[in-house]
Structure 1
Amino acid sequence: MSVPENTTRLGHLLGPHGVQGGVKVYVLGDSEQVLALKRVWVENRGWLKVRRSEPLAPGVVLHLTGVITREGAEALRGAQLYAADADLPPLEEGSYYYHELRGLPVFDAGSTRLGEVTDVLDMGHQDVLAVTYAGGEGFLPLQAPYVVIRAGEGGRPAAVDLTEDAPAGLLEADGEDE
């Protein structure tokens, strides 16, 4: 069962909480956003309705339809958790979800278009942008002061700009002479 299109990874399931099917979630990002969801997509299970959610620092506990025992929650341990992009609650101006970066153009410090963001990857301590460009595919650290997300209409992301502080050669073909 593959992950549906237009979904964003929220985190993964850690295991049971209590004896009535609650499952702890390791949340990537803001736990408050997960608490607002009415349904989630669970790896190898599909879409499940959220019966109830509760904060549990540093993540949340979800009570999902069809998961009513500790053993049922244990069976979900390690599963990835996703939400439909359209189901995510709106953010305040100037904030953005990672899925909003997909498809954005990437420009160098001189405003030359380099490529396009295809995905945002959680690499542990550092998130990276997967970018397609003339030389193939490359990765950019999603980190200030190297990368700035340019806001457009309504404060939504419009482009990704590399700054003058970005290391040279981030999006060059392997073996290309400088």
Structure 2
Amino acid sequence: MTAPEDTTRLGYFLGPHGVQGGVKVYVLGDPAQLLDLPRVWVEGRGWLRVRRAESVPPGVALHLAGVTTREGAEALRDLNVFAADSDLPELEEGSYYYHELRGLPVLGADGARLGEVRDVTDGGHQDLLVVTHERGEDFVPLQAPYVVVQSGETGRPAAIALTEDAPGGLLGEGAEEAR
């Protein structure tokens, strides 16, 4: 079962929290984004109503409809958790959700279009942009100082720009010479 379109992966379940079906979530990003969600989409289970969410630093514990025992929560361990993009809370200006980066052009320091963001993924120590380009697909660290998220007129993300400090070879340049 694949996550529906217009959803964003929020993290994955770690395991039970308490004995009444609470389940801890490893959150990608800000845990506060989960606290007021009316529902989540759970890999292999579909949409589940959120009965209650509580902050359990460094993450969140969710209490979901139909999950009322520790064993039920244990069955969710390692499953991915998604939210409908429309259910996510509004962000302050200058902040963005990763789903807003999908489909954005990736520009070089000279402003030339190099590719397009297909997705953003958790790379462990840092988040990675999955960028498609004429030579294929590559991961680009979403990291200052060489990646800048440019805002448009509405204040929302409009493009990803690589700065002059970006290391060479990020988008497959030089791959032919390495063979």
Output the CA distance in 2 between the equivalents of 1:116 and 1:15.
36
For residues 24-173 of structure 1, the aligned pairs below 5 Å read 24-172=24-172
Superposition deviation, residue 14 in structure 1:
1.1
Give TM-score scaled by structure 1 length.
0.95
Output the CA distance in 2 between the equivalents of 1:106 and 1:148.
10
Output the CA distance in 2 between the equivalents of 1:69 and 1:169.
50
Output the CA distance in 1 between the equivalents of 2:31 and 2:127.
18
Output the CA distance in 2 between the equivalents of 1:70 and 1:92.
37
Structure 1, unaligned runs of 5 or more:
none
C-alpha contact (below 8 Å) 1:33/1:88 kept by paired residues: yes
Helix, strand or coil for the counterpart of 1:154? Answer: coil
Helix, strand or coil for the counterpart of 1:118? Answer: strand
1:175 paired to 2:171: no
Output the CA distance in 1 between the equivalents of 2:132 and 2:69.
45
Aligned to 2:13: 13
Superposition deviation, residue 169 in structure 1:
2.4
Superposition deviation, residue 17 in structure 1:
1.2
C-alpha contact (below 8 Å) 1:93/1:154 kept by paired residues: no
Which whole-Å deviations, capped at 9, do the CAs of 1:137-162 have from their partners, x for residues lacking one? 12211110110000112310000000
C-alpha contact (below 8 Å) 1:149/1:160 kept by paired residues: yes
Helix, strand or coil for the counterpart of 2:154? Answer: helix
Output the CA distance in 2 between the equivalents of 1:168 and 1:70.
50
Tell me the percent identity.
70
Output the CA distance in 2 between the equivalents of 1:69 and 1:28.
25
**Count, aligned residues:** 177
Give TM-score scaled by structure 2 length.
0.95
Output the CA distance in 2 between the equivalents of 1:49 and 1:113.
42
Superposition deviation, residue 176 in structure 1:
4.8
Quick one: which amino acid aligns to residue 141 of structure 1? P
| Distance 1:109-1:149 versus aligned 2 partners, 3 A rule | same
Quick one: which amino acid aligns to residue 31 of structure 1? P
Structure 2, unaligned runs of 5 or more:
none
The answer to which of 159-168 and 123-132 deviates more is 123-132
Quick one: which amino acid aligns to residue 40 of structure 2? V
